[in-house]
Structure 1
């Protein structure tokens, strides 16, 4: 299987999925989301895979969020469909039935932070920055981040991050 936006390989009982768009900080477009869906469906149906490592190419970003140039093209109807398709990919990751480890190298913002939240476990480099900056664009996290974030860090801190759009360091996230 050949992909344009992700790298996918299986070694022994480990599946490695890497978002591979480093020139745009691994920003998510719909083609990338569909490739992630295909890879995770294959992983789900492969009994030899016991664990998944999910990361982003390069040193600057895990996934820096949605591809804003693609987001700008949507009206209310197509934007809703875009969001539903993204939610279904994250639900697949979250309910895979196998551990998915997000290895966060650099920025995990917006949809990238939401993907990390859908994973079973998150490991971050010391340089990692995490956040939900959607409020600064006048929108909310579209892939379930408003539900996952409070479950992971509590309602108070989640509201602070969701309503301010601020980023936090890996060290702050660890607390």
Structure 2
């Protein structure tokens, strides 16, 4: 059974036939941990089989972040074995989004970093505003960007993936829009309404054609998806067994004054 805290951290409400899922932990920039990922996965799987749900819109609470990615308070406790379980959790979540055969729209209310950047790129359409930033800063936390490298390379090619993974820099909204990572830039207050409108527009498409198109998009990258997660499992185990990620996360949290659970 879900605890009240977890349910409150990932909330869902219906807007007509569209399910709006909101990451709701703004005091931590909506950074997610295992219970939040499990709750999000459960909502996505349920929506996929619910005939009354036509689409999903995923967003975050607050003006600062869609999601800052992995909650480092959780990550700093991992060892090699737990890191493998962690990668398996991501595989199930990413796979659920990839295989979701209805519209899946991302409403970027703010920062999308690391795993949140990756997950946002798995959505069908991304709506954002001028203050949004996106990127793969995992190297700065001592984390390997195995899955991040894969999805950025799929979207942007090897050169850009190499630069973003090794520098960890964050991209401004205009750059993201110029290279096709954000499909529409609108005023901040219009992000969620526009995302809902796009979700409804996509849901009105011929259903069989939409479903089969999404199946083909998923199938086209399935082999490399599977290879990526096998590599990620091995690489993260090596990194966490060496102890570097935990030390870097601990230093970051200490400087930021966020060492509490």
TM-score bin (small chain) = over 0.9
How far 1:117 moved relative to its partner? Answer: 1.1
Which of 64, 80, 86 aligns to 2:84? It is 80
How many aligned residue pairs are there? 174
Which of 110, 114, 123 aligns to 1:119? It is 123
Larger radius of gyration: 2
Question: Which runs of 4 or more aligned residues in structure 1 lie more than 3 Å from their structure 2 counterparts after TM superposition?
Answer: none
Tell me the equivalent position of 2:165.
Answer: 162
Contact 1:43 1:49 in 2 (8 A): yes
Does residue 131 (structure 1) correspond to residue 172 (structure 2)? The answer is no
How far 1:145 moved relative to its partner? Answer: 2.2
TM-score, scaled to structure 2: 0.64
Contact 1:65 1:113 in 2 (8 A): yes
Contact 1:9 1:15 in 2 (8 A): yes
Contact 1:28 1:111 in 2 (8 A): no
Contact 1:129 1:168 in 2 (8 A): yes
1:16-73 CA distances to partner (integer Å, 9 max, x unpaired)? Answer: 0000000000001111101101110110111222221100000100001100010000
How far 1:11 moved relative to its partner? Answer: 2.8
Tell me the equivalent position of 2:47.
Answer: 43
How far 1:74 moved relative to its partner? Answer: 0.4
Larger strand proportion, structure 1 or 2? 1
Which of 71, 84, 91 aligns to 1:67? It is 71
1:70-117 CA distances to partner (integer Å, 9 max, x unpaired)? Answer: 000000110111121022112101220111111111110011101101
Contact 1:91 1:118 in 2 (8 A): no
Mapping 1:85-96, distance limit 5 Å: 85-96=89-100
SS where residue 147 of structure 1 aligns? helix
RMSD of Structure 2 on Structure 1 (CA):
1.4
Unpaired stretches in structure 1, ≥5 consecutive residues: none
Tell me the equivalent position of 1:13.
Answer: 17
SS where residue 87 of structure 1 aligns? helix
Report the more deviating stretch, 116-125 or 67-76.
Answer: 116-125
SS where residue 145 of structure 2 aligns? coil
Larger helix proportion, structure 1 or 2? 2
Contact 1:111 1:141 in 2 (8 A): no
